[in-house]
């Protein structure tokens, strides 16, 4: 079962995840981080940036990227990762990868990305947000639990959710390249963050619902080391909330995320 931690704010969540990353990097300076985009990981990136950790040897692999945006588009995930993570955290730009950024053709980009993750030694800690469709990465409902990085079509609801980043809803790309659920499950530690009422149903379904490809986030139940960090609103539909709070409050001295 996932460990579920309630926090009072996204900032508090960011500090907890920054603690986990700081500990990881202290033990393994060339750790591999799985990076997410969107609003959810921003407090983690801010908390990490404020610590001025030596992250120059850390490698990063983004979860996903839009297909079809012009190079350098400010909402491409390459641009977002550079702006929100690479620059403020002091990561080496050439050590941070985004699907499809190797200059090769779109066809085969997923297989090449998978190979590059494996060659880097695999992801040590994977940051995840969750979409209102229940997606993690851009694995929309119906995605295979065995899926690897590939081109996907975004759900209409995801395009509507992400329209806030674009001038017009029609500007949101239809396609993306995303790590698969199988890729995500290979990471050694999954850290799923969610804030706000709009995530409550997706979090309850992912953490406590049946394991089903209709709720891609439920794939986390198949992983042995998952930390789910939610604020009160995002955790408001969790049936076992009292148990999660008690377990976290009575964690043993050496227990971490
Ligand atoms: C982003 C990603 C998505 C987002 C999800 C939530 O790289 O893979 O799964 O985490 O759509 O987005 P936000 O955080 O903007 O609510």
Mean pLDDT per block of 10 residues along the chain (257 residues) reads: 91 98 98 97 98 97 97 95 98 98 96 98 98 96 98 96 95 97 98 98 98 98 98 98 97 91
Give pLDDT, residue 252. Answer: 93
Report the separation in Å between the CA atom of 102 and the middle of ligand 1, taken as the mean of its atom positions.
Answer: 23
- Residues of the domain holding 83: 3-249
Residue 257 lies in a domain: no
Predicted confidence at residue 73, as pLDDT, reads: 96
Indicate whether 127 belongs to any domain: yes
User: Using a 6 Å CB cutoff, which residues line ligand 1?
Assistant: 36-40, 63-64, 129-131, 135-138
- Residue nearest atom 4 of ligand 1, based on CA coordinates: 129
User: Domain count of the chain?
Assistant: 1
pLDDT for the residue 10: 98
Q: Within its chain, how far is the Cα of 242 from the centroid?
A: 26
Distance 252 CA to ligand 1 centre (A): 32
- 121 backbone φψ class: left, alpha, beta (φ>0; ψ -120 to 50): left
Measure the CA–CA gap between 111 and 185, rounded to whole angstroms.
16
Report the 10 Å Cβ neighbour count for 39: 14
CATH number of the domain where residue 69 is located? 3.40.50.1360
CA 234 to chain centre: 16
Measured at the CA of 22, the angle between CA 226 and CA 52, to 5 degrees, comes to 140
Q: Is residue 256 part of a domain?
A: no
Give CA–CA dist 143/147, Å, rounded: 7
128 phi and psi, to 5 degrees?
A: -135, 140
Residue 108 domain-assigned (yes or no) = yes
Q: Is residue 47 part of a domain?
A: yes
Q: Is residue 255 in some structural domain?
A: no
* 140, 133 Cβ separation under 8 angstroms: yes
In a domain, 44, yes or no: yes
Atom 15 in ligand 1: residue holding the nearest Cα: 38
Q: What is the pLDDT of residue 17?
A: 98
Tokens linked to 87 = 């620059």
- CA–CA dist 209, 119 (Å, integer): 35
Contact predicate 2/222, CB 8 Å: no
Place of tokens 């980009």: 109
Closest CA to 256 of 50, 55, 68, 16: 16
Residue 143 lies in a domain: yes
Full-model pTM: 0.97
Helix boundaries (H) for 71-180? 77-81, 87-89, 109-119, 156-162
Q: How far does residue 250's CA lie from ligand 1's centre (Å)?
A: 31
Quote the pLDDT of residue 71.
86
């Amino acid at each position: 079962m996932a460990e579920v931690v309630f926090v009072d704010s996204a900032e508090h969540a960011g500090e907890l995840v920054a603690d986990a990353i700081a500990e990881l990097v202290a033990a393994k300076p060339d750790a591999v981080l799985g990076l997410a985009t969107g609003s959810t990981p921003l407090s983690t990136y801010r908390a990490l940036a404020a610590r001025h950790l030596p992250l120059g040897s850390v490698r990063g692999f983004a979860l996903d990227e839009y297909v079809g945006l012009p190079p350098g588009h400010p909402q491409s995930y390459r641009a977002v990762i550079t702006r929100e993570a690479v620059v403020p955290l002091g990561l080496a730009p050439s050590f941070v990868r985004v699907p499809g950024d190797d200059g090769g053709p779109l066809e085969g980009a997923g297989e090449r990305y998978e190979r590059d993750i494996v060659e880097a030694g695999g992801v040590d800690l994977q940051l995840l947000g969750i979409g209102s469709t229940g997606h993690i990465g851009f694995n929309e409902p119906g995605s295979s639990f065995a899926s690897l990085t590939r081109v996907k079509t975004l759900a209409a609801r995801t395009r509507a959710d992400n329209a806030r980043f674009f001038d017009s809803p029609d500007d949101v790309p239809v396609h993306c390249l995303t790590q698969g659920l199988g890729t995500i499950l290979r990471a050694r530690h999954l850290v799923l963050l969610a804030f706000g009422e709009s995530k409550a149903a997706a979090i309850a379904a992912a953490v406590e619902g049946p394991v089903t490809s209709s709720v891609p986030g439920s794939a986390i139940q198949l992983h042995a080391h998952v930390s789910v960090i939610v604020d009160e609103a995002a955790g408001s539909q969790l049936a076992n909330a009292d148990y999660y709070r008690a377990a976290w409050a009575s964690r043993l001295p050496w227990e971490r995320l």
